[in-house]
């Protein structure tokens, strides 16, 4: 065994040890967030009374992370099932939603919006509070609210759509002496693949998808904010808005705290009556193996990027394709 090979094994061993140490440290120092709480004794109180009302409860529903079928922070099935359970809860009188999301896939985003609209057929209100970010799909979901509140530091808006993304790596692959071919039938079946650039026809196809999804988004904004389509479209150029800018443009109703929103909700909808808050929040579950594999994946990507000269972000996009089209702030 040559010295070069031995040194390679030594470096790999050191990297694995570092990954294990980082994993153990993460497991020791990180606590999982609080989960769904059906028996919460947290009381929402408008007049300092400690007596819980028997009239009903407000569901505090947290929607966080990139909206996809599932990832570490988000689970579509859990969210839709939870909204359905809240709708069928006879003690429930309304939903207060906390949104912290850059958006996500069009399909899942619209599914959540429709589920919330279905909930409102009960006549019960939805109030939305936007956290650090409620952009693109995060704003789309917010449009289901009777009222939208935001923190003064919230970033929101980003009303637009990304229909697809392609990286033409043919030049780089040729430089590296790598030949990639795809066997396909149908002249547009391979569009978007990294080994072939978009043709003008394919760009037109993807643009038509973007335009259709965009029109749907703008119509929902117009309906939610009591605007004409033209008025909503003027605000829907994909830009991000600060909370104050969103308020000035009529995209939200107020700037303030979560507690302020609950106060206003109780006063406007329930005549200031005391209500119990029942919290619904997804548990973040990561096993030792999940964390370990994530660390190893990071090391592998870094090594591959160093070896090939391809940026890590590009390798990540190639190996983990997004769920296009997307209402996503990037």
Considering the candidates 6, 91, 175, 189, report the single residue annotated as catalytic: 189
Q: Are the C-beta atoms of residues 277 and 288 closer than 8 Å to each other?
A: no
Q: What angle do CA 95, 61, 213 make, to 5 degrees?
A: 90
57: β partners: 92, 276
What is the H or E stretch that residue 136 is in?
none
Residue 24 to residue 30: CA distance in whole angstroms: 10
**DSSP per-residue letters across 268-298:** HHHTT--EEEEEE-------HHHHHHHHHHH
Contact between 54 and 90 (Cβ < 8 Å): no
Active site residue 203: no
- Set 101, 136, 158, 224: catalytic member: 136
Q: How far is CA 7 from the centre of its chain?
A: 43
**In whole angstroms, how far apart are CA 325 and each of 106, 130, 155?**
6, 23, 22
Taking CA atoms, 257 is separated from 102, 129, 294, in Å, by: 20, 8, 36
Residue with tokens 């004794």: 41
Q: What is the three-class DSSP state of 32?
A: coil
Asked whether the beta carbons of 97 and 132 are under 8 A apart, the reply is no
Is 136 catalytic? The answer is: yes
Residues 6+ apart with CB under 8 A from 84: 115
Q: Measured between alpha carbons, how far is 12 from 107 in angstroms, rounded to an integer? A: 42
Q: What six digits make up the tokens of 47?
A: 């007049």
How would DSSP label each residue in 184-211? Answer: -SSTTTTTT-TTSPPPHHHHHHHHHHHH
* Residues labelled catalytic: 136, 189
């Amino acid at each position: 065994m040559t010295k070069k090979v031995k040194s390679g094994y030594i470096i790999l061993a050191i990297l694995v040890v570092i990954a294990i140490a980082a994993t153990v440290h993460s497991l020791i120092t990180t606590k999982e967030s609080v989960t769904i709480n059906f028996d919460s004794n947290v009381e929402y109180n408008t007049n300092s009374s400690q007596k819980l009302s028997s009239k009903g409860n407000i569901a505090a529903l947290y929607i966080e992370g990139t909206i996809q079928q599932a990832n570490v922070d988000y689970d579509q099935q859990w969210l839709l099932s939870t909204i359905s359970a809240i709708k069928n809860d006879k003690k429930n009188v309304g939903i207060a939603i906390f949104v912290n999301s850059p958006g996500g896939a069009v399909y899942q985003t619209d599914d959540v919006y429709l589920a919330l609209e279905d909930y409102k057929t009960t006549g019960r209100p939805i109030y939305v509070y936007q956290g650090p970010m409620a952009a693109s799909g995060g704003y789309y979901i917010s449009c289901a609210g009777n009222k939208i509140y935001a923190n003064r530091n919230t970033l929101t808006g980003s009303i637009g759509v990304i229909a697809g993304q392609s990286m033409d790596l043919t030049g780089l692959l040729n430089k590296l002496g790598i030949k990639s071919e795809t066997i396909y039938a149908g002249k547009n079946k391979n569009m978007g693949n990294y080994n072939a650039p978009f043709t003008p026809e394919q760009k037109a196809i993807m643009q038509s998808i973007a335009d259709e999804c965009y029109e749907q988004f703008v119509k929902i904004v117009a309906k939610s904010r009591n605007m004409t389509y033209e008025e909503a479209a003027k605000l829907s150029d994909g830009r991000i808005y600060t909370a104050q800018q969103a308020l000035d443009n009529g995209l939200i109703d107020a700037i303030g705290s979560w507690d302020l929103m609950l106060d206003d909700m109780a006063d406007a909808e329930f005549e200031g009556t005391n209500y119990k808050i029942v919290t619904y929040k997804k548990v973040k579950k990561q096993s030792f193996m999940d964390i370990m594999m994530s660390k190893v994946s990071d090391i592998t990507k870094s090594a591959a990027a160093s070896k090939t000269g391809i940026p890590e972000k590009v390798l990540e996009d190639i190996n983990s394709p997004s769920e296009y089209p997307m209402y996503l702030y990037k």
